[in-house]
Amino acid sequence: MTQVVRSLDQWRHIAGSNGYRQKVAGFVPTMGALHQGHRSLIDRCRSENDLTVVSIFVNPTQFNDPKDLRNYPRTFEKDLELLEAAGVDYLLSPDYESIYPDDYRYQVQETSFSAELCGKSRPGHFTGVLSVVMKLLQLVRPHRAYFGEKDYQQFVLIKEMARAFFLQTEIRSCPTIRDDDGVAMSSRNALLSPDGRSRAAEFARLLKAPMNSKERMDALANVGTVEYIEEMLGRRFGAIRIDGVRLIDNIPLEEPN
């Protein structure tokens, strides 16, 4: 059974015990509203480590839109069922005051790549992400931590942060998991209307379709409000708003169409 830990004092006691320190721990940080994409990260983690720790913490410092934070799906009981079925050892689910006893006065900031792609329209987003991930890595002290490639910019920033601060945790990426209609699995997908879901599938299709940049942008304009389509790091990245829901995706450029 998954042990739920909400108190950081309790967690420090667990993490400081011989039973924890003498084993290889893997870590999957999440904001809850878990789906099969998260399950794939957990399964990979369990296959490569002795212990699996998952965190659920809806991190307010990475939301630049208060409405987006209010609307973010919260499904704790359902999430716990998934974690127990997956064989997770520990669920760490602290509150804001525990994670931010300084009320976010101290922050981890990257000054280059975090201003590109999603960072252009979400000021402060990646500072919030890096700050909370740094805190969680310090608490859990895992040997390995797992992140999905759907949020590829986030993965790169976290991997480089770990290297820059000489963290002992190995940051590993896992492939994007997609539904049958091609849509990258995301907690935000639950906020889409049926029509919005159909347009999300069209977004995924057009992102990888063989066409030039103007053709792609013209086609996507009929799907939703395009935030960006850019190519870098050997990938094509895209962000779009459908039904007021912001969706992101990316594909390797060498991926067959």
Q: Is 125 a catalytic residue?
A: no
Q: Which of 13, 35, 38, 143 is catalytic?
A: 38
Q: Is 94 left (phi over 0), alpha (psi -120 to 50) or beta?
A: beta
With beta carbons less than 8 A apart as the criterion, state whether 144 and 48 touch. yes
Write out the catalytic residue numbers: 38
